[in-house]
């Protein structure tokens, strides 16, 4: 009953979005299967089979939500629920397979049928259950990040002294890193997804590895002063460009350059990544070239500059006020007066300039 009420409360737009992505995924699998075998099987069998797989996905998400979503964690109930989920859905899948197999024209016996198709059905159920767990983890991480951001803004509004503000911000960031939910489990799951996807698409598999690398970098512990090696940040900036090349169905027009000696310098993480991410989110990269440049002088002055044309759409904020405010707060906390951040939001062009004395 709780699951039915939760589904009823979902907005229509979310149903449409989920349905669209499921349609793309199913068409991709069927096309891959057709190119490999020349056949996609019965329409009704595909409808029933994918309905059960999608059911495993949302059932897994729901189980994690009710067992781990509250203040009390019910790990025993979660284990029992997952086992029951696999038994029920695999029994239904075997029923579908049994209905569509003509044992009169087939040399396969019922035990052979259970052994061969049962293993395949179980593997597929586990695959969709892991995807459901990743979806649940993503929702929880986004919600936790939003709550921490809101709490940080409220603390800033109430703070009258800069020293107290900086202390609270540091504690908030440390608490956020400590509250990440089993990041190693999530990364191991991505490695499993990579192994499954690699058989169908090398590009999709590479995207999974890049995503895992970006997530591992975001969870990586910093030094005592909250900084990391600058080369690590620039490496992830290159990964961000690569993964976005896979996202679009056209070659991106972006010119990324680096000048100077980056080794031996350190920086607070994810500032350059956050500023660069908005190029791909809002920039017109189909035909109009965007530029992204990094330079380090001998005196250790880092210069970051990005310029891109905007996509023709209703006016939107590039970085939400919370995101931009958090970047400035982190820079204030780490560098004081040793940086300058200037953003020009024009009619057609968006430009970001950042100078940091490392």
Per-residue confidence (pLDDT) for residue 180, from 0 to 100: 46
Per-residue confidence (pLDDT) for residue 260, from 0 to 100: 92
Q: How far apart are CA 326 and CA 340, in angstroms?
A: 15
Q: Which of 261, 347, 349, 252 is nearest to 305 (CA)?
A: 349
- Specify which residues 301 forms β-bridges with: 357
Q: How far apart are CA 240 and CA 214, in angstroms?
A: 8
Per-residue confidence (pLDDT) for residue 25, from 0 to 100: 83
**Portions of the chain given CATH number 3.30.565.10:** 229-357
User: pTM score, two decimals?
Assistant: 0.45
Judged against a pLDDT cut of 90, whether residue 303 lies above it is answered with yes
Judged by average pLDDT, the poorest of 64-73, 190-199, 327-336 is: 190-199
Q: Which residue has the higher pLDDT, 108 or 241?
A: 241
Judged against a pLDDT cut of 80, whether residue 206 lies above it is answered with no
| pLDDT tens-place string over residues 6-19 | 555 556 777 788 88
Angle at 29 between CA 37 and CA 79, to 5 degrees: 120
Q: Return all residues near 89 (Cβ < 8 A) that are at least 6 apart.
A: 52, 55, 56, 59, 125
CATH architecture of 229-357: 2-Layer Sandwich (3.30)
Judged against a pLDDT cut of 50, whether residue 182 lies above it is answered with no
Instruction: Work out the mean pLDDT of the chain and round it to a whole number.
Output: 75
Residue in this structure with the two tokens 């597929």, named with its chain if needed: 124
| pLDDT tens-place string over residues 85-123 | 888 888 888 787 777 766 555 566 666 666 667 777 788
Per-residue confidence (pLDDT) for residue 257, from 0 to 100: 92
Give percent of the chain with pLDDT exceeding 90: 9
Q: Which residue has the higher pLDDT, 55 or 183?
A: 55
| pLDDT tens-place string over residues 110-163 | 666 666 677 777 888 888 888 888 888 887 777 667 777 777 677 666 666 666
């Amino acid at each position: 009953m709780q699951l039915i009420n939760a589904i009823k409360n979902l907005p229509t737009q979310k149903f449409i979005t989920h349905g669209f992505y499921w349609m793309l995924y199913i068409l991709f699998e069927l096309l891959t299967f057709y190119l490999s075998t020349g056949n996609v099987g019965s329409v009704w069998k595909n409808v029933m089979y994918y309905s059960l797989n999608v059911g495993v996905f949302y059932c897994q998400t729901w189980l994690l939500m009710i067992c781990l979503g509250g203040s009390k964690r019910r790990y025993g109930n979660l284990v029992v629920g997952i086992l029951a989920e696999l038994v029920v859905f695999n029994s239904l899948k075997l029923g579908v397979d049994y209905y569509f197999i003509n044992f009169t024209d087939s040399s396969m016996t019922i035990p052979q049928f259970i052994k061969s198709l049962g293993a395949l059905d179980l593997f597929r159920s586990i695959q969709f259950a892991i995807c459901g767990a990743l979806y649940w983890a993503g929702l929880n991480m986004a919600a936790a990040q939003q709550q921490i951001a809101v709490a940080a803004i409220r603390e800033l509004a109430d703070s009258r002294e800069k020293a107290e503000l900086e202390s609270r911000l540091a504690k908030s960031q440390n608490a956020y890193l400590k509250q990440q939910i089993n990041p190693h489990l999530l990364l191991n799951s991505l490695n499993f997804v990579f192994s499954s996807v690699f058989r169908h698409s090398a590009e999709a598999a590479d995207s999974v590895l890049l995503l895992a690398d970006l997530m591992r970098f975001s969870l990586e512990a910093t030094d005592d002063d909250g900084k990391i090696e600058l080369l690590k940040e620039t490496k992830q900036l290159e990964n961000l460009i690569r993964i976005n090349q896979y996202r679009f169905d056209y070659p991106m027009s972006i010119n990324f350059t680096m000048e100077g000696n980056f080794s031996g310098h350190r920086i607070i993480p994810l500032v350059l990544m956050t500023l660069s991410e908005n190029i791909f989110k809002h920039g017109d990269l189909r035909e109009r070239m965007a530029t992204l440049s990094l330079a380090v002088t001998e005196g250790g002055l880092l210069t970051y500059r990005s310029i891109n044309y905007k996509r023709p759409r209703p006016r939107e904020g590039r970085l939400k006020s919370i995101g931009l405010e958090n970047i400035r707060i982190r820079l204030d906390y780490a560098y004081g007066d040793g940086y300058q951040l200037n953003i020009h939001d024009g009619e057609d062009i968006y430009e970001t300039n950042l100078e940091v004395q490392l």
